[in-house]
């Protein structure tokens, strides 16, 4: 990544867009969580997905929560850059990784949480590889 800081207008636009995508994916994740409740799963979209393929809803839950991590990370990094003109460090990214893992673990099965953690770690590795040495 370069040392130049983008225009504040670009940072605001990116922050608003990624914030919206984070919120949309989080609402979708919460909907999947509610629809997975034992008393409503048969009459919910998750029940229909389970009827097609039992693993389809699990894959969607993993991808949704990994998307929440990606967009939440970009939102926090952009927000910090906008407010302080200082790039975020690894502390913020690791804290978000832990928070999203705990949320996923509480909402879904442990398997979904660990695969989401692996997908999120892949994004962290990608961020690391983007850095200049």
**Domain contains 117:** yes
Per residue in 25-66, pLDDT tens?
999 999 999 998 888 888 889 889 988 998 999 999 999 999
Residue 93's alpha-carbon distances to 6, 29, 36, 45, 99, in angstroms, are 20, 21, 29, 33, 10
Residue 57 to residue 32: CA distance in whole angstroms: 8
Per residue in 23-32, pLDDT tens?
999 999 999 9
In the chain, the number of structural domains is 1
**Domain contains 73:** yes
**Domain contains 31:** yes
Local confidence band at 83 (pLDDT 50, 70, 90 cut-offs): confident
**Domain contains 2:** no
| Residue 70 C-alpha from the chain's centroid | 4
**Residue 13's domain spans which residues?**
8-130
**Domain contains 19:** yes
**Domain contains 81:** yes
**Whether the predicted pLDDT of 133 surpasses 60:** no
Query: In the prediction, which pLDDT does 101 show?
Result: 96
| Residue 22 C-alpha from the chain's centroid | 7
Residue 55 to residue 39: CA distance in whole angstroms: 20
**Domain contains 1:** no
**Domain contains 3:** no
């Amino acid at each position: 990544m370069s040392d130049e800081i983008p225009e504040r207008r670009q940072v605001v636009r990116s922050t608003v867009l990624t914030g919206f995508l984070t919120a949309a994916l989080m609402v979708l994740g919460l909907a999947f969580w509610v629809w997975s409740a034992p008393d409503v799963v048969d009459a919910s979209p998750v029940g229909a997905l389970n009827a097609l393929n039992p693993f389809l809803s699990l894959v969607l839950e993993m991808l949704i929560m990994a998307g929440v991590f990606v967009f939440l990370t970009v939102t926090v990094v952009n927000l910090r850059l906008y407010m302080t003109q200082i790039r975020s460090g690894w502390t913020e990214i690791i804290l978000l990784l832990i928070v999203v893992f705990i949320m996923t673990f509480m909402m879904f099965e442990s398997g979904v949480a660990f695969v989401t953690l692996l997908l999120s770690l892949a994004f962290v590795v990608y961020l690391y590889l983007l850095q200049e040495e």
